[in-house]
């Protein structure tokens, strides 16, 4: 990990369990950095608290590598930051005994999510009606819209209060013109942000200098992706996507890193598929299998509490994901959730009018018409939750893993068999 950044990215529609791998890898990292998204992300990590007892830590905006007490956290320029949520999350972690003093930093170039962005997020969903995207209503999309239209405000703007107030009034007035005069205390918010600016100031850094200085001195940097490839603004199931770049390209732009500064890229893939909100989902199982995956897999969103839609593993999606992100290895998560299933299906091709599609289609109308071709593999019908070595896994379990590796031509390096940080099998990579 030394001298180059190791990157962890979601390979499906999010909720793959990235936080747990980040937690494991953070034990060897000096810095854990977020590059995109905002507090619409949701990672839960089960780790020892200060009393040694297992504690569940929830991360939304802050880098989840902070759960390791020697790792610093950086929120990069590509992230959009809702400052009250930043402090709420920080206060909650510290109340659980996780001291982040002197090891949490925010880029001065990061854009700010204001409460009016969150109000507008809800209004946009209402306006879309039945065609709503299913956003988290955290204001992420409207904040990125402000950024793209060059009317947004960045962290550094907080520290010139008069200029901040002037820009803020203009920004709110623009939203009133677009959505009508919704209830919002503009002057009260200006005063609130004066106090928040004072509290935030010690955390703010020039993230480009900070990160490149760290790499130059041999420090180990871990990048924690948010959301996932299929939610990417360009390569996901648009418009049912997030508002940022969730790919390896977003790592470069969100942190100011050149490609040569990136070492290993690890894709995190659930042993089945889930997604939240609207949008197409070719392998979705609206039957007993789907219910089983939801209930046994505890498939409820960390950020929203919403029940996740569930289906079989889709290797057409994964092939698309591997092409774009170029994973060096994969982390297969929640494999234990398949323990009780007698026959496990895996999607390997999409057909339209009996012709195979060459890749994952851009057009959702085409995607809605696909016939999914599955391969059926035998289950293992035994618990793998206590297994710690790859060769100790049941034969059919290893065959499932190896089928995925062979299809994608990417090795699986980490295998999750339970929620705890100790429930991660490290599988040796083949010799180069």
Going by C-alpha positions, the residue among 261, 260, 257 that lies closest to residue 107 is: 257
Non-local (6+) Cβ contacts of 160 within 8 A are none
Residues 235 and 284 in one domain: no
Q: What is the pLDDT of residues 10-63, one digit of tens each?
A: 999 988 999 889 989 999 999 999 999 999 767 778 788 878 888 888 899 999
Residues 374 and 276 in one domain: yes
Q: Domain holding 273: CATH number?
A: 3.90.170.10
Give how many domains the chain has, as a whole number.
3
Residues 145 and 211 in one domain: no
Q: What is the pLDDT of residues 59-108, one digit of tens each?
A: 999 999 999 999 999 999 999 999 999 999 999 999 999 999 999 999 99
Whether the predicted model's global pTM rises above the 0.85 cut: yes
Residue 432 located in a structural domain? no
| pLDDT, position 1 | 47
Asked if residues 5 and 262 have their Cβ atoms less than 8 Å apart, the reply is yes
**Active-site residue, 292 included:** no
| Boundary (domain end) residue, out of 265, 299, 314 | 265
Going by C-alpha positions, the residue among 257, 297, 238 that lies closest to residue 273 is: 297
Residue 125 located in a structural domain? yes
The one catalytic residue among 30, 43, 111, 336: 43
Residues 368 and 416 in one domain: yes
Per-residue pLDDT of the chain (432 residues; tens, 9 = 90+): 457 999 999 999 988 999 889 989 999 999 999 999 999 767 778 788 878 888 888 899 999 999 999 999 999 999 999 999 999 999 999 999 999 999 999 999 999 999 999 988 877 565 555 555 555 678 999 999 999 999 999 999 999 999 999 999 999 998 888 888 888 899 999 999 999 999 999 999 999 999 999 999 999 999 999 899 999 999 999 999 999 999 999 999 999 999 999 999 999 999 999 998 888 899 999 999 999 999 999 998 766 677 899 999 999 999 999 999 999 999 999 999 999 999 999 999 999 999 999 999 999 999 999 999 999 999 999 999 999 999 999 999 999 999 999 999 999 999 999 988 889 999 988 876
Q: Domain holding 221: CATH number?
A: 3.40.440.10
Residues 117 and 177 in one domain: yes
The one catalytic residue among 15, 23, 121, 314: 15
What is the span of the domain harbouring residue 67? 5-110+203-265
Residues 79 and 127 in one domain: no
Residues 386 and 293 in one domain: yes
Q: What angle do CA 132, 136, 140 make, to 5 degrees?
A: 100
Residues 254 and 272 in one domain: no
| Boundary (domain end) residue, out of 265, 286, 301 | 265
Residues 10 and 102 in one domain: yes
Q: Which residue has the tokens 């002037």?
A: 166
Residues 293 and 347 in one domain: yes
| Boundary (domain end) residue, out of 265, 286, 312 | 265
Residues 294 and 415 in one domain: yes
For 249, phi then psi, to 5°, come to -65, -35
Residues 53 and 40 in one domain: yes
Q: How far apart are CA 366 and CA 383, in angstroms?
A: 39
Non-local (6+) Cβ contacts of 209 within 8 A are none
**Active-site residue, 111 included:** no
Asked if residues 312 and 346 have their Cβ atoms less than 8 Å apart, the reply is yes
């Amino acid at each position: 990990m030394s001298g180059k950044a190791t990157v962890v990215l979601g390979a499906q529609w999010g909720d793959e369990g990235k936080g747990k791998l980040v937690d494991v890898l953070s034990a060897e990292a000096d810095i854990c950095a977020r590059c995109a998204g905002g507090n619409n992300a949701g990672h839960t990590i089960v780790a020892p608290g200060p009393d040694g007892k297992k504690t569940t830590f929830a991360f939304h905006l802050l880098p989840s590598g902070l759960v390791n007490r020697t790792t610093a956290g950086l929120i990069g320029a590509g992230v959009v930051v809702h400052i009250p949520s930043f402090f709420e999350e920080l206060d909650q972690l510290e109340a659980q005994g996780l001291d982040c003093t002197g090891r949490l930093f925010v880029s001065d170039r990061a854009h700010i999510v204001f409460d009016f962005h969150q109000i507008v997020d809800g209004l946009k969903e209402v306006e879309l009606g039945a065609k709503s995207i299913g956003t988290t209503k955290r204001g992420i999309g409207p904040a990125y819209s402000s950024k793209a239209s060059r009317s947004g405000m960045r962290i550094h703007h907080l520290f010139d209060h008069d200029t901040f107030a002037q820009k803020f009034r203009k920004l709110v007035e623009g939203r009133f013109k677009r959505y009508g005069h919704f209830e919002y205390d503009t002057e009260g918010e200006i005063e609130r942000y004066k106090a928040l600016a004072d509290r935030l100031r010690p955390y703010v850094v020039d993230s480009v200098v900070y990160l490149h200085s760290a790499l130059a001195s041999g420090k180990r940097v871990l990048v924690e992706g948010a959301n996932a490839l299929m939610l990417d603004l360009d390569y996901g199931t648009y418009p049912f996507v997030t508002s940022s770049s969730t790919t390896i390209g977003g790592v470069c732009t969100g942190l100011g890193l050149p490609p040569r500064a990136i070492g290993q890229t690890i894709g995190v893939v659930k042993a089945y598929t889930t997604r939240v909100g609207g949008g197409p989902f070719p392998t979705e199982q609206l039957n007993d299998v789907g219910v089983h995956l939801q209930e046994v897999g505890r498939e409820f969103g960390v950020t929203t509490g919403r029940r996740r839609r569930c289906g079989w593993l889709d290797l057409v999606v994964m092939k698309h994901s591997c092409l774009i992100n170029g994973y060096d290895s994969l982390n297969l998560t929640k494999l234990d959730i398949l323990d009780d299933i007698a026959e496990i299906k895996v999607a390997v091709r999409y057909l339209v009018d009996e012709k195979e599609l060459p890749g994952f289609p851009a057009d959702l109308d085409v995607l809605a018409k696909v016939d999914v071709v599955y391969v059926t593999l035998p289950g293992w019908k035994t618990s793998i939750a206590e297994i710690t070595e790859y060769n100790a896994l049941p034969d059919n379990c290893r065959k499932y893993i190896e089928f995925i590796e062979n299809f994608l031509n990417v090795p699986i390096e980490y295998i999750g068999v339970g929620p705890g940080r100790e429930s991660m099998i490290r599988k040796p990579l083949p010799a180069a």
